[in-house]
Structure 1
Amino acid sequence: MPPNLFLLLGAFLLLVTIPPGKAFKFLQHLEGSHKGKTVEGLGELKRYLEKFGYLNYGAQHDSKTKFSNHIHVNDEEFDELLESAVGAYQSNYHLNITGILDSETIQHMMLPRCGVPDVVNVTNSLSSTQIKQTKLFNMVAMYSFFPGRPRWPLSKTYLTYSFQSSAQVVGLQELRLVCSRAFRKWQNVSPFTFVEAPQGAVGDIVIGFHRGNHNDGAPFDGPGGVFAHSFAPTKGWFHYDADEDWSSNPNMSQIDLESVAVHEIGHVLGLGHSRDRNAIMYASLPTGTIKRNLSTDDIQGIRALYSGSTRKISYYFQCSA
């Protein structure tokens, strides 16, 4: 075998054999699971789907059915509500809607992702029949908002940001440069001006690295799972998971600081996740990926949310690529 070909083959094998992150590793043993099966790990899958907004046993009952719905909350049985939640997940990510944990679905679920839920307030889930017949959210615009559509007051378009971490991961100067570029992307297409707060002051938006339970009600899960999360306006919190491998010039096993910063700032401004794979606000980001430019869907979303603003929004077409 020619030396160059050997090196290329070795690099390929290294990439395809990288083990999944610890946080979502349980998913790889669930491939092929479907309604009626009892498999160890399905309880963790239920918690995964509940965390990201697809499953809520408590919201699915009335006085006549609450016992039948709650009986499977913590067990390892693949019940009808779990099938429905898997189907909803598949629909949201443009996967084949089967309600079965096929290989494609498992691989997507294992991708590193943002901790903000995709779907909120589950009131309607797909029935077994609908799973095979329905495509959810059949619309051109794929952006979304938080429940109740919270946003910053239209009178408050000047937002400051500051840094406060409980774990040291990257140097402050590097983080400042990364976030400055990320804020500029949104400033160019929104009514906002973003300025770093004076030293020692707490900004409207507070950015930092934290690990595990960091007293915001949303503990991180360690490497290979949720890489960051933010909160809806006007809380202004944006947290990186310090247990991930971060870089501003990532290799294939690292997560890009700036790509995640642009995404999380979108949440801080009030955008939810997008179903558009090309959008900054798409929930998952594979390691090694650099994705720093706003898509048309991102820009349309922020414009729709702040359509009542009187400030002119410039550079719409230049920044849409």
Structure 2
Amino acid sequence: MTSRALRSFLFLLTLSFLFVDVSVSISFVPAAVGVIARQIPSWLRLIRASKFFSNMLNKFKSFFNMFKELKLGNIAKGVSNVKQYLDLFGYLNSTLHSNFSDDFTLDLQSAIIKYQKNFNLNVTGQIDRKTYNIISQQRCGVPDIINGTTTMSMGNSNTTPFTPVNNVSDSVKVLFREAFDRWSKVTLVNFTETASFNESDVRITFLELDGKGGTVGGADRNYSLGVGSVYLDSEEEWVVRGENEEGDVDLESVVMHMIGHLLGLGHSSVEEAVMYPIVLPEKKTELSYDDLQRIHQIYHVK
């Protein structure tokens, strides 16, 4: 039987962590990792974005029921949804935001090319089946491109104080400890568990985001304060230990991904990497060569 985390409208994990060995390499200086704090969404913005993404995926289903490749110059109902998706994750960088047309424009072609490059797809500039197959999957809610710069190299924000309700099982707490330990070994950053949610430097929160599917969570950091947060969608079918069934999400894999954001990593184009932004059925808790190469560039650990 699959063991699952408790689900409710809102429950907070008071298993939080405090940096106790803070060296220069983890001083949260924006220049060290190339992200400005105000550019990453707060938890409230993440909730709105996640619900928007979930609604968008439902529209994609009808859009691609009668699938055909679309390219520059085509006009087709549903193209506006693709534009909204690409804008949400930083590819389109449009000032129009929700006012998108169904025209396949040069801007859309450019955005698709960036997306295809990031996900190691054939660069066609067209909405083809392989591109749709990636777009239509669950994913991390952190943008791939921030302020015009691809981050498939980061995360941050001021967090609102909560009064925690700890409905989390011991097995989930152990899972978090083990995930932090894996990252600690490759960064030499020590983490200490604390029961004080509001006074901790890393806050872990289960929130109702966009329902089952869509975005599974996100992570952010505040460089000036040196704190970070992990947000997980409480409505997902989280698998704590055991085999995934269709529609399930492996909690440990997602937690590993989010801690990577806290430590300064953005998304990876390598499908085997923990920092790949798409949620795949395979459990991914061991750091890939790509993950190690990039984290060592930040923390200078050999």
TM-score by length of 1: 0.66
2:204 to 200, 204, 207: 207
1:118 to 122, 144, 147: 144
Distance 2:103 2:228 in 1: 39
* Counterpart position of 1:280: 274
Q: Displacement of 1:167 after TM fit?
A: 8.6
2:218 to 222, 229, 244: 229
Distance 1:200 1:35 in 2: 50
Gapped regions of structure 2 (runs ≥ 5): 1-53, 157-161
Q: Displacement of 1:103 after TM fit?
A: 0.8
Identify which of structures 1 and 2 has the higher relative contact order when contacts are C-alpha pairs closer than 8 Å and 6+ apart: 2
What is the one-letter code of the residue matched to 1:89? Y
Gapped regions of structure 1 (runs ≥ 5): 1-20, 59-69, 124-136, 151-163, 213-220, 308-312, 317-321
Q: Displacement of 1:145 after TM fit?
A: 4.7
- Pairs aligned (count): 236
Matched, 1:252 2:249: no
1:186 to 168, 183, 186: 183
Cα deviation 1:131-167 (Å, max 9, x = unaligned): xxxxxx9xxxx96256xxx9xxxxxxxxxxxxx7989
Cα deviation 1:225-267 (Å, max 9, x = unaligned): 1111001353411010122211112323200000000000000
Check 1:87–1:189 CA distance in 2 against 1; reply closer, same or farther (3 A cut). same
1:300 to 289, 293, 296: 293
Distance 1:199 1:251 in 2: 34
What is the one-letter code of the residue matched to 1:26? K
1:76 to 89, 102, 108: 102
* Identity, % of aligned positions: 32
1:108 to 134, 144, 168: 134
Q: Displacement of 1:271 after TM fit?
A: 0.6
Check 1:105–1:167 CA distance in 2 against 1; reply closer, same or farther (3 A cut). farther
What is the one-letter code of the residue matched to 1:253? G
Which structure would you say has the larger Rg?
Answer: 1
* Counterpart position of 1:319: none
1:51 to 67, 84, 88: 88
Matched, 1:95 2:128: no
Cα deviation 1:108-140 (Å, max 9, x = unaligned): 1111110111122227xxxxxxxxxxxxx9xxx
Distance 2:246 2:165 in 1: 24
Distance 2:268 2:163 in 1: 28
* Counterpart position of 2:192: 195
Contact 2:145 2:152 in 1 (8 A): no
What is the one-letter code of the residue matched to 1:196? E
Distance 1:305 1:89 in 2: 25
